[in-house]
Amino acid sequence: MKRFTFVFLCSLIATIVSERMFWFWSTGVRVHVEVALFYMLPTAVVLWAIERFAVDDRSSLLLAVPLFAYVTEGVITPILYTGGPFVPFFPAWFSAWHGILGIAVGIVGIRLLARRGAAAALALTSVGFGAFWGLWATTLRLPENVEDPELVAEMGALVVLDPLAFARYAATFVAILIAAHWAIGFVWPAVEGSVKPTIGRKTAIVVGAFVAIAVVGWTVAIPWALPMFVAYGGLQIVALRRHHKRASSGAAERGAVDGGAECDGPVPGRSPLLSSLAGHVSMRNLAPIALMAPAASGVYAVLWAIDPSDQAIRVVMYSTIAVQTLVGGWMITAALLRERAPIDGDHEKNRSFPEKNAFVSASRQTEASGSVTVMEEPRG
């Protein structure tokens, strides 16, 4: 039950960031719960990849999060395979939208800043993301969006919110986001020693079977669905495996040079990323996230007063999509080409991010006040 709750809360956070903030709202409460439950499938897949390949640096994380996007848009829905001339750009766009925003920023990035007590950085991130949210939210007023039959069928009747209604909407989901980040600390798996992985073998088999059946089902109507999904997902798995293998061999070579020092490298099922994020985060450290709501509401209210033309809003919408596609494609390509840093020989460091890692250099539990783990910056 604890692992189920953990996966659900991860899914809830990713849903809020990638759907309720970046995409569009719904007037039906049930829709929000249903989407979070459905998104447990891609969440389980990306958690499996993070654990299976012992993700511990930024490049490896960027190789894992596209799996969340591919399962969301290629298993839960067939959007990944439909869209005419835009289909070739979907992997990069969906990876930036679902993967980087929902997982890398929404879960990992926010939690890292909150655990480190980096209030200024978290506040700046929240204000920036909130402003982007308020800008993007204006695109729902376009007739092709608010009256889109597919969106209406998926989320129920869509309405253009006035500034006060949007402020209530933003405050509600930011509060849920903060509560989810607070609650997840109580069920976050402590990846220590021989603890079982979050996504065990049986769960992985069930999830994999469901993904396979769904993709084959879409292939009946869309013949190219299966080969496209296998190609997209396979590329990420191969890249993750390559990163993991090179980090392991690099660690082994370093151990040999150091005179046979113990150096096992990254251990499958024991992700240094998940390990370093384990533990409870206080509401005080999460408080800066609340700035998202007024930032979003303020931008939305200003644009409501300005009342830009539909054509200007379309420019904003398609420019945002274009920038996301370019950034997503660039970041994933860079991650594919970048070498993963070998894990240091220190066995204790293998349980957290190694020194000079892209995220953090070490983690220490502070037991006196029962507060969060103190994350130290790399030195030198």
> What's the rounded mean pLDDT across residues 207-236?
89
* CA count, 13 A, side-chain hemisphere, 214: 19
* Residue 378 included in any domain: no
Q: What pLDDT score does 303 carry?
A: 95
Residue 148's domain comprises 2-371
Residue 293 pLDDT > 80, yes or no? Answer: yes
* Residue 237 included in any domain: yes
* Residue 379 included in any domain: no
* Residue 365 included in any domain: yes
Closest CA relative to residue 343, chosen from 27, 41, 51, 54: 54
What is the average pLDDT value for the chain, to the nearest integer? 79
Neighbours of 194 (CB within 10 A): 7
268: phi then psi, degrees, rounded to nearest 5: -55, 135
> What's the rounded mean pLDDT across residues 45-65?
87
- In contact, 16 and 201? CB cutoff 8 Å: no
Which long-range contacts (C-beta less than 8 Å, at least 24 apart) are formed by 215-224?
215/74, 215/75, 218/74, 218/75, 218/78, 218/81, 221/78, 222/78, 222/81, 222/82, 224/81
Q: How many domains does the chain have?
A: 1
Q: What pLDDT score does 26 carry?
A: 65
364: phi then psi, degrees, rounded to nearest 5: -130, 135
* Residue 107 included in any domain: yes
> SS3 breakdown of the chain: % helix, strand, coil, rounded to 5?
70, 0, 25
What residue type is assigned to position 110 of the chain?
I
295: confidence class by pLDDT, cuts 50, 70, 90? very high
Map residue 100 onto helix, strand or coil: helix
* Residue 376 included in any domain: no
* Residue 303 included in any domain: yes
